[in-house]
Structure formats: C-alpha cells, structure tokens
Amino acid sequence: MADTKSGRDEQARDEARRRIERDISEARERGDEPEPVADPPTECHRRGCSEPAAFSVTERYQEETGAGAVEATAFLCADHAADESPANLEDAYEGYVFHVEPVADDADD
Ligand SMILES: [Zn+2]
C-alpha cells in the first residue's frame, strides 16, 4: 500500500518537474525568459583591464547564418563602456537592440 502511494507521489513530482522544464524551454523559445545568468562579472570584460564593471553593454542582432537573433552582453568599466558602439549594424533587423545599462552595485549598500 505504502509503495503504491509513494509511487504515485513520485509520479506526480516527475510530472510537475517535467511541466516546469517544458514551461522554461517554451519561454526560452519565445525569447521572453532570459537564460539564467550566473553572477555578473565584477571586473571589466576587456582584457588587461581590472576596473570594476560599471555597465553591461548588450547588442542583439540577427545571426548571419540565419539561425536567429543572438544577444551578446559584455560587462565593462565606465571608460570601456563609453568606447562601445554598435558593431553589427549590417545584421540589424526590426528587433535590433543596442543598449547600455548601469550595473547595480550592491557592494555599497
Ligand atoms: Zn575596462
């Protein structure tokens, strides 16, 4: 008896897990659920620069292979963020994005 019940519970858990996984992958396919991002880097992305990352610079453009939109994000110090400019305008499309966002600095709170 106990076996039957725990077996059912397990099955319900499996189904719930599968449903969640499906929701996540569907959301990713729709593009409204960003990939889970590990802790953002705290140092500037540029080689040889150890300034703290102050901005995230994101560019979204159409992959030239036709595989779809790709989004590239780099965390940069203020100086290097100021140097950034759209690099893939030839692959621009209606959803093209280039944006610079200040990185929240929790350390000072
Ligand atoms: Zn830098």
Residues 24 and 75 in one domain: no
* Residue 83 CA: distances (Å) to CA of 3, 44, 55, 60: 64, 13, 12, 18
Residues 60 and 9 in one domain: no
Residues 47 and 76 in one domain: yes
At 4 the pLDDT is 67
**Tally of domains in the chain:** 2
Residues 75 and 28 in one domain: no
Q: Which tokens sit at 60?
A: 């979204």
**Percent of the chain that is helix, strand, coil (3-state, to 5):** 40, 20, 40
Residue with tokens 């396919």: 29
Residues 73 and 54 in one domain: yes
d(CA 33, ligand 1 centre) in Å:
29
Residues 61 and 21 in one domain: no
Q: Which domain holds residue 10?
A: 1-36
Residues 78 and 56 in one domain: yes
Which residues are within 8 A (CB) of 50 and not within 5 positions of it... i.e. 6 or more apart?
A: 43, 44
Residues 51 and 78 in one domain: yes
d(CA 77, ligand 1 centre) in Å:
4
pLDDT tens digits along 56-73: 999 999 887 777 889 999
pLDDT tens digits along 35-94: 665 677 889 999 999 999 999 999 999 887 777 889 999 999 999 999 999 998 988 888
Give 33's pLDDT tier (boundaries 50, 70, 90). Answer: low
d(CA 94, ligand 1 centre) in Å:
30
Q: For residue 83, which phi and psi values (nearest 5 degrees)? A: -80, -20
Residues 46 and 85 in one domain: yes
